[in-house]
Amino acid sequence: MKTRVIKVDSEKPDPEAIAEAAAALKEGKLVAFPTETVYGLGAHALDPQAVQKIFDAKERPATDPLIVHIAHIGQVNQCAMGMPAGARKLALTFWAGPLTIILPKRPAVPDLVTAGLPSVALRAPSHRVARALMEMAGVPVAAPSANRFSRPSPTTAAHVLEDLDGRIDLILDGGATNIGLESTIVDFTVDPPVIRRPGGITFEQIHSLVPEVVQATGQGSEADAQLAPGQLTRHYAPRAPLTLYDGPPELVVPRLGADVRTAVAQGSRVGILAPEEDLTALAPIIASTASAGRVEVRPYGSRADVERAARELFAALRDLDASGVSVIYASSIGADGLASAIRDRLMRAADGRIKTIVQE
Ligand code: TXA
Ligand code: MG
């Protein structure tokens, strides 16, 4: 299959391009498109044959349910049985936007979409291209992130091509996505509601409207994986093993630096994924003669600008991995607000290799 790429203006998408993509979706084809979080790989959500193609193209296990994208809150009834007051409040406040809500599903939604679960995850994206596509298609669109299974989510059309060229029909290229991390998932099929995945809308924002909401304990743990299928620990996995250094920067940076020195001395090629301030502090080690040709660095934003850090994280991770390093050392940038979503993705990428650095 030849994958076509159509460039679209992210502010004012060409209606002809959108019409072509919408027609492809309705015919059961796969279309990748930008959302405000990451690129999604869309298929007609009520057409099981189309949905099956998503699992095939991504090599995604059938046990991992998909998010169904809709144009607006008025489409919820097509897919879900009612909406508790808290869910409605969140949808009215944060849709269109980076929030996914899990509700009891209607029989019309194929079991394939929800991996056999009695619930369905719904989201109304705010990106102009995504909205225009949903509106024109007029059908709910199942869309996971448009990456091969266990690769970092794509934030550009080039990332989508890297993973899915020749496997999907069409990519709408609307440039780099704005948020860079996936939506926040809140499960309203349990009482109290649970945040299954931290993301573009923070815990604090949700808590202010739904005070009873709780965060899933041990996010990314195996125990959690059973509660929230698809939330496997090993996710966003780079080819080189990634170790996450977690803790206050004044402790994390010297420890990470010492480990870089050791690894280089042992002959490793080390990649460092860290905010700009950390790389500045590590400059003497990176510039040392021992490190020559053995250390690759990729900044992801800045501690002073968490939104930019989120936007740049996945591209930096992909790029570092492609550079052929044998190990990756990454530092996290905090545990609150949007930083908690960054930390969650790095923890998944680390697959258990987490060094928590605390004051002795
Ligand atoms: O920002 C996003 O949410 C992006 C864009 C494309 O919208 N999509 C995305 O989809 O991140 P995906 O497939 O990569 O992640 C969806 C996750 C699944 O892995 C699963 O954990 C959860 O959503 N999920 C979906 N349906 C669920 C359900 N019924 N119950 C529990 N978890 C569910
Ligand atoms: Mg994904």
Decide if pLDDT at 21 tops 50: yes
Give the whole-angstrom CA distance, residue 145 versus residue 283: 35
Is any atom of ligand 1 closer than 6 Å to the C-beta of 121? yes
Pocket test for ligand 1, best of 147, 153, 185 (most atoms within 8 A of CB): 185
216 CB under 6 A from ligand 1? no
Q: Which helix (H) or strand (E) holds 287?
A: helix 283-287
* Helix axis angle, 15-26 to 128-137, nearest 10°: 50
Give the pLDDT confidence of 203-248 residue by residue, as tens digits: 999 999 999 999 986 544 444 444 555 555 556 778 899 999 999 9
Calculate mean pLDDT across residues 349-358. Answer: 93
Q: In this predicted structure, what is the pLDDT of residue 290?
A: 83
Ligand 1 atom nearest to 37, measured from its CA: 1
Task: Express each pLDDT in 111-150 by its tens digit.
Answer: 999 999 999 999 999 999 999 999 999 999 999 999 999 8
Q: Using CA atoms, how far apart are residues 156 and 141, in angstroms rounded to an integer?
A: 20
Structure confidence by residue, pLDDT tens digits, 171-202: 999 999 999 999 999 999 999 999 999 999 99
* Mean pLDDT across the chain: 94
**Residue 264, C-beta contacts closer than 8 angstroms, at least 6 positions apart:** 270, 290, 291, 294, 295
Model pTM score: 0.95
Please tell me the predicted confidence (pLDDT) of residue 232.
54
Q: What is the number of the ligand closest to the CA of 67? A: 1
- 147 CA to middle of ligand 1, Å? 13
* Distance of CA 182 from the midpoint of ligand 1 (Å): 8
> Does residue 185's CB lie within 6 angstroms of at least one atom of ligand 1?
yes
Relative to the CA of 197, which ligand 1 atom is closest?
A: 21
pLDDT score, position 237 = 75
pLDDT at 227: 52
Task: Pick the range with the lowest mean pLDDT from 79-83, 219-223, 240-244, 257-261.
Answer: 219-223
Ligand 1: residue of 67, 109, 163 to mutate (most ligand atoms within 8 A of CB) is 67
Q: Is the CB of 64 under 6 A from ligand 1?
A: yes
Cα-to-centroid distance, 160 and ligand 2 (Å): 12
Q: pLDDT at residue 63 above 50?
A: yes
152 touches 160 (CB < 8 A): no
- 286-344 pLDDT per residue, tens: 999 888 899 999 999 999 999 999 999 999 999 999 999 999 999 999 989 999 999 99
Give how far Cα 106 sits from Cα of 44, 77, 103, 111, 121, Å: 16, 8, 9, 10, 12
Ligand 2 ion: Cβ-proximal residues, 5 Å cutoff: 145
pLDDT recorded at residue 162: 97
pLDDT of residue 60 exceeding 90, the answer is: yes
**124-162: b or e for each residue (b if 16 or more CB lie within 10 Å)?**
bbbbbbbbbbbebbebbbbbbbbbebbbbbbbbbebbbe
Give nearest CA residue, ligand 1 atom 3. 183
